A = this chain, B = another copy of it.
Amino acid sequence: MRTDPRGSARTPGTATGGETVPTVPPASKAADAVDVTALLERGRTLATPVLRAAVDRLAPPMDTVAAYHFGWIDAQGNPADGDGGKAVRPALAVLSAEVTGAAPEVGVPGAVAVELVHNFSLLHDDLMDGDEQRRHRDTVWKVHGPAQAILVGDALFALANEVLLELGTVEAGRATRRLTAATRALIDGQAQDISYEHRDRVSVAECLEMEGNKTGALIASASSIGAVLGGADERTADTLETYGHHLGLAFQAVDDLLGIWGDPESTGKQTWSDLRQRKKSLPVVAALAAGGPASERLGEILAADAKSSDFENFSEEEFAARAALIEEAGGREWTAEEARRQHTIAIEALDTVDMPDRVRDRFAALADFVVVRKR
């Protein structure tokens, strides 16, 4: 019996305008039998108390600002039970410890460090991008001001290193080094994202490179950090990173689909969210690169939009028309296919490294979940 209504790889998602997310065959029968909800819950349950204790170390008012960002309190400082996100990264981090035969708990400092780096980047990116909403709430810079967003982001980044390095082991040094490389890639990806905003055209290859940096690198780190802390050799760690990198690309492709066609009820974002923000996401760049009448028409419209002073006031119908053109040009199907392609590469990577079958099935099930999710 399945207990996870979201995690079935056999049930394609549906949302505004039809199926949003790609249908993938489950990686295996065994993977399909994994209780993904329980796996995500395990990561969250193990990591959250340690994450909260780490954040509690911050000096006021940074502790409060960080607690607001994580959804633990509201803007007035009252306790809140915010949406902490899907928690895919902590689930991966504690699972990866089991690759080495270690207990999932061994991966916890890694899970916490990855979450701290992830949230450092969210705090800074939201400010740089001027995004006013995240997870259904006002962003930190909007509530507490730009200085606090910068400062608390910096503090979370430092805290990530602290949580790992205070373990004082050789493995912790290796884990920090790998996480640092991922963080640099994350920053490179944000630099690319910003520079693309000012350009008329971005190639599919450039978009994939940016997404590999911005999303792939940290999910790669999450997928291997527990194993590194458990003493895995370099080859095992590298292979788990490969799994995570491609899983991250699949994740981002699905995110890009949800960013246009996602159901606002599920995603917590506006309808046509990425179109409203003129994001050059995968469906858009793939549609523009496809050629043909719909692609050319889309190119003309987006070029005119870029100069339009009235863009803010566009109607639902105007965004829907753009989304329809992207779909007609093949951008939607190409992106869904890209998610399936990356999902396959991720699953294949798992077969090249020794690990208990039970652990492999769980990695595969998390990959299935990432591709079929609706939020």
Contact = CB atoms under 8 A, between A and B. Distances in A.
A103 B150 CA distance: 38
Interface in A118-173: 120, 124, 127-128, 146-147, 150-151, 153-155, 157-159, 161-162, 165-166, 168, 170, 172-173
A161 B157 CA distance: 11
A194 B150 CA distance: 12
Nearest to A147: B128
Nearest to A176: B165
A294 interface: no
Given A157-B157, A173-B172, A195-B61, A162 B180 contact: yes
Contact of A184 (B158, B183, B187, B192): B158
Contacts of A59: 188, 191-192
Contacts of A61: 191, 195
Nearest to A178: B165
Given A170-B170, A191-B61, A176 B161 contact: yes
A194 B128 contact: no
- Interface residue tally on A, bucketed by range: 35 or more
A177 interface: yes
B184 A155 contact: yes
A154 to B, nearest CB: 5
A86 B26 CA distance: 62
Contact of A151 (B120, B146, B177, B194): B194
B151 A180 contact: no
A150 B124 contact: yes
Contacts of A192: 59
B154 A124 contact: yes
A186 to B, nearest CB: 9
Interface string A189-205: 01110110000000000
Interface pairs A-B: 7 shortest CB-CB: A173-B173, A165-B177, A128-B147, A161-B180, A59-B188, A158-B184, A158-B183
Interface of A: 59, 61-62, 120, 124, 127-128, 146-147, 150-151, 153-155, 157-159, 161-162, 165-166, 168, 170, 172-173, 176-177, 180-181, 183-184, 187-188, 190-192, 194-195
Given A124-B150, A162-B181, 12 more contacts: A59-B192, A124-B154, A127-B146, A128-B150, A146-B146, A150-B150, A157-B157, A158-B183, A159-B184, A162-B180, A170-B173, A176-B176
5 contacts: A124-B150, A155-B184, A158-B183, A159-B184, A173-B176
